[in-house]
Amino acid sequence: MYDWDELLSPYKQAVDELKIKLRSIREQYERTSKHTPIEFVTGRVKPVTSILDKAKRKNIPLEEIDEKMQDLAGVRIMCQFVGDIDTVVDLIRMRTDFEIVEERDYIKNKKNSGYRSYHMVLRYPVQTISGEIQLLVELQIRTLAMNFWATIEHSLQYKYRGEIPSNIEKRLQRAAEAAFRLDEEMSQIRGEVQEAQEIITRNREQ
Amino acid sequence: MYDWDELLSPYKQAVDELKIKLRSIREQYERTSKHTPIEFVTGRVKPVTSILDKAKRKNIPLEEIDEKMQDLAGVRIMCQFVGDIDTVVDLIRMRTDFEIVEERDYIKNKKNSGYRSYHMVLRYPVQTISGEIQLLVELQIRTLAMNFWATIEHSLQYKYRGEIPSNIEKRLQRAAEAAFRLDEEMSQIRGEVQEAQEIITRNREQ
Amino acid sequence: MYDWDELLSPYKQAVDELKIKLRSIREQYERTSKHTPIEFVTGRVKPVTSILDKAKRKNIPLEEIDEKMQDLAGVRIMCQFVGDIDTVVDLIRMRTDFEIVEERDYIKNKKNSGYRSYHMVLRYPVQTISGEIQLLVELQIRTLAMNFWATIEHSLQYKYRGEIPSNIEKRLQRAAEAAFRLDEEMSQIRGEVQEAQEIITRNREQ
Amino acid sequence: MYDWDELLSPYKQAVDELKIKLRSIREQYERTSKHTPIEFVTGRVKPVTSILDKAKRKNIPLEEIDEKMQDLAGVRIMCQFVGDIDTVVDLIRMRTDFEIVEERDYIKNKKNSGYRSYHMVLRYPVQTISGEIQLLVELQIRTLAMNFWATIEHSLQYKYRGEIPSNIEKRLQRAAEAAFRLDEEMSQIRGEVQEAQEIITRNREQ
């Protein structure tokens, strides 16, 4: 039997370390009383059943899982505003504790399903008791509304094994539009809030 | 100087205990593979500056803060669907580890601002090294979309000290409508999902 | 197959709640700058393999495990000084969030093996999504030295399946004596520390 | 006023990251069912009052605190057996996520007070929102018994401001000897345990 625990435990370690590291970004912004671009951070190792499903679907042999499956370790950053996503991407690019091997912008180019999110694949070094190993971690950056919709879509995809009936797919798209609309309205207010803050700051300095 | 630490530390204890307790509801649903009505749970003790602001605004003497301010300890439960809120309210009413002293339904009766949320005030017993004390905890139950909007509104209220300019208020209301719309669309899908699940279950049993 | 997850998950919940609750005792003492009788708190649910071993050894049918096995949920409080144990026992007896159903003092009456510890069995109420259930939790209170020795003895017992060779047992007893000796020496200093503190306090008040 | 929060928050970040990283060593050993050389890991940032005391005592100007005070961030690894300390030191030397800048062996060369512990000073890189910074972290490796005694001694030193009366110092030394004795007895058993394990393994393979 395949020793999943041995394969996956460094990935769990990577996720735990990255959650601690990325959450500290939020704390740093809060400490300096600036608008924090990060609302919260989650992470998970892909469940074994999902790995097997995906390996079968994409025809990946078990020995090549760690090279060919880029989302064994997944970390997700949620933002309040669409505009925060760029700030987060810049912060990630600046770091020296991992290497970025790929970026995919599903916000500028949203998927047909309505899926929006910014993806990065990182090569992250983990220290084990037998030495350093490097492994791939998928980082997803999205707004709360994008995340909300994506969660629902994911469960429906899972349930219908990728073949969502067209009437349900239509409703799902209407929900995607509502989520998009919410992000748009929020972006409008973001501008207001920042303008307002600038006015307040200017008034205070006089 | 007032010893805030002494006043607030049992409230912190109550929040910590309730977070552990309410998060276990989610785990129980997951273990039995049923749709969990709880997405996540957060909690906080009201910061001292906010207590002082509110005490001044509402004319509450410092000695009466613990009786008259019901939200010194606040716990919040977030749900995916509007319909999940009723399930959570029923679960809360069934419990024997605290007493419900008040309920306010701002979903059936939303505030003029657009605020929607279900509020309960609990009387919760905390064990201290000098014996049991009972204190008030405010519990808020809302969807992710309600929460998203409420967070934004809260910061704007804070910034404009309760007097948001009318043009910004209009945008805030449009955002509230977008959030409401998103909840409506999601509720539509919830029905589909549950119907689909029933069909799947029926098919499996044949 | 027996559903261990269903049986044990409320026990896990009880352990999680009690760890949060008992750790707060330490914080309360620290906040008031008094010597804290609690050094740290740990907890665990008994692993399934250990449950099965014990059930076989003690001839307990699976259906009676939850009534007859009092240590499915175990919580442990570690103290710096032997004298702190009495303080902790008093604090436990004072609480109203559980009932004490049994106490065994293996410090006044140490076991032949050298084992010393204060045991209490609690009946603790847990709220589940199907209502309140009450379950037994074993609470062990010991010094750091008692705990250190007990950990070693436990692994040796496990390894030799309860039949430790006599030459190793002798060494284990010498270690138990060294642990006892360390506790005695520490107790001597505890007196000094407290006397010193009283002198300091008296001097300050003059 | 000096902004302690700004100075110390990257140190807090370093401590949080190192606790997660070093605790994973324990998990890796447990997963492979080998004796784990790490019992538990703790960490702390030096409290501001202690920093000020030490700066005064050692005549360190505030601007040079981060270079000259090597224990602003402190991480401690506790081991069951004295022999485990060497294993841990080797694991630390092998890592590539920090640089070791100093090692002091207070076990081979114990202090006059009776203090025993293995110290390492690490240069650890932390990612902040303004870029990478490198800072010093003190790592202490000790047995449970060494730690127990050191904790007591630390509070007495603090209380008597470094001038412990000679009668109390004598008792403290007797306690140090008892702790040393306990470590010796435990080391004896460690040998037995490992021999026993080898016999068991050999028997199993026949």
User: Mean pLDDT of all residues in chain A?
Assistant: 89
Among C80, C148, C182, beta carbon nearest to D178:
C182
What CATH number belongs to C4-145? Answer: 3.30.460.10
At A165, phi and psi to the nearest 5?
-55, 150
Among C28, C125, C131, beta carbon nearest to B129:
C28
- Label residue A206 by pLDDT band (50, 70, 90): very low
Enzyme catalytic residues of B: 138
Across the beta sheet with D73-79, what order do the strands follow?
D40-45, D73-79, D131-143, D118-128, D99-105
Instruction: Look up C138 and say whether it is catalytic.
Output: yes
Q: What is the pLDDT of residue A195?
A: 59
pLDDT at position B117 over 90: yes
Nearest chain A Cα to D36, which residue? A129
Q: What is the pLDDT of residue C206?
A: 46
pLDDT at position C78 over 80: yes
- Label residue B151 by pLDDT band (50, 70, 90): confident
The number of angstroms, rounded, from the C-alpha of C193 to the middle of its chain's C-alpha atoms is: 26
Give the architecture-level CATH label for domain B4-146.
2-Layer Sandwich (3.30)
pLDDT at position B204 over 70: no
Instruction: Provide the residue type at C151 as one letter.
Output: T
Instruction: Provide the residue type at B200 as one letter.
Output: I
Cα–Cα distances in angstroms (integers) from residue C174 to residues B24, C81, C108, C113, D146, in the given order? 45, 21, 19, 11, 18
Q: How far apart are CA D38 and CA D78, in angstroms?
A: 6
Q: Which of C99, C132, C138, C198 is the catalytic position?
A: C138
| pLDDT tens column, C146-204 | 998 998 888 788 778 778 888 888 999 999 999 999 999 989 888 776 655 555 445 54
pLDDT at position C205 over 80: no
Does C129 contact B13 at a Cβ distance shorter than 8 Å?
Answer: no
Does A16 contact D20 at a Cβ distance shorter than 8 Å?
Answer: yes
User: Mean pLDDT of all residues in chain C?
Assistant: 89
Among C145, C171, C197, beta carbon nearest to D148:
C145
| pLDDT tens column, D26-47 | 999 888 767 789 989 999 999 8
Q: How far apart are CA B37 and CA B206, in angstroms?
A: 28
| pLDDT tens column, D171-197 | 999 999 999 999 999 898 887 766 555
| pLDDT tens column, A132-162 | 999 999 999 999 999 989 988 887 887 787 7
Q: Which of B41, B148, B153, B161 has the most A C-beta neighbours within 10 Å, making it the best mutation to test the interface with A?
A: B148
ipTM of the complex as predicted: 0.88
Cα–Cα distances in angstroms (integers) from residue A45 to residues A116, A150, D16, D97, D118, in the given order? 22, 18, 21, 22, 36
- A159 vs B contacts (CB less than 8 Å): 193, 196-197, 200
- C168 vs D contacts (CB less than 8 Å): 189, 192, 196
| pLDDT tens column, D65-120 | 999 999 999 999 999 899 999 999 999 999 999 999 999 999 999 998 899 999 99
Q: Which of B6, B127, B130 has the most C C-beta neighbours within 10 Å, making it the best mutation to test the interface with C?
A: B127
| pLDDT tens column, C90-121 | 999 999 999 999 999 999 999 988 999 999 99
Nearest chain D Cα to C198, which residue? D159
- B5 vs C contacts (CB less than 8 Å): 31
Residue % of chain B over a pLDDT of 90: 64
Cα–Cα distances in angstroms (integers) from residue A72 to residues A14, A88, A108, A122, A155, in the given order? 11, 22, 25, 12, 18
Q: A14 in helix, strand or coil?
A: helix
Q: How far is D143 from chain C (nearest CA, A)?
A: 10
Q: How far apart are CA B32 and CA B51, in angstroms?
A: 41
Q: What is the pLDDT of residue C33?
A: 66
Does A20 contact D17 at a Cβ distance shorter than 8 Å?
Answer: yes
Given a contact as 3+ CB pairs under 8 Å, which chains touch C?
B, D
Q: A108 in helix, strand or coil?
A: coil
Q: Which of A6, A138, A184, A205 is the catalytic position?
A: A138
Backbone Cα Rg of chain C = 19
Q: How far apart are CA A191 and CA A195, in angstroms?
A: 6
- A196 vs B contacts (CB less than 8 Å): 159-160, 168
- Label residue B198 by pLDDT band (50, 70, 90): low
User: Domain-by-domain residue ranges, chain C?
Assistant: 4-145
Given a contact as 3+ CB pairs under 8 Å, which chains touch B?
A, C
pLDDT at position A64 over 80: yes
Q: How far apart are CA C38 and CA C21, in angstroms?
A: 12
- Label residue C14 by pLDDT band (50, 70, 90): very high
Q: Which of A142, A149, A189, A193 has the most B C-beta neighbours within 10 Å, making it the best mutation to test the interface with B?
A: A189
Average pLDDT over residues B138-167: 87
Q: What is the pLDDT of residue D31?
A: 80
pLDDT at position A120 over 90: yes
Tell me which fold the domain D4-147 belongs to. Answer: Beta Polymerase; domain 2 (3.30.460)
Domain A4-205 maps to which CATH number in 1.10.150.20, 3.30.460.10, 1.10.10.10, 3.90.1330.10? 3.30.460.10
Q: How far is C99 from chain B (nearest CA, A)?
A: 14
Q: What is the pLDDT of residue D165?
A: 87
Q: D132 in helix, strand or coil?
A: strand
pLDDT at position A200 over 50: no
The number of angstroms, rounded, from the C-alpha of C68 to the middle of its chain's C-alpha atoms is: 19
Given a contact as 3+ CB pairs under 8 Å, which chains touch A?
B, D
Q: How far apart are CA C168 and CA B56, in angstroms?
A: 71
Does D5 contact A31 at a Cβ distance shorter than 8 Å?
Answer: yes
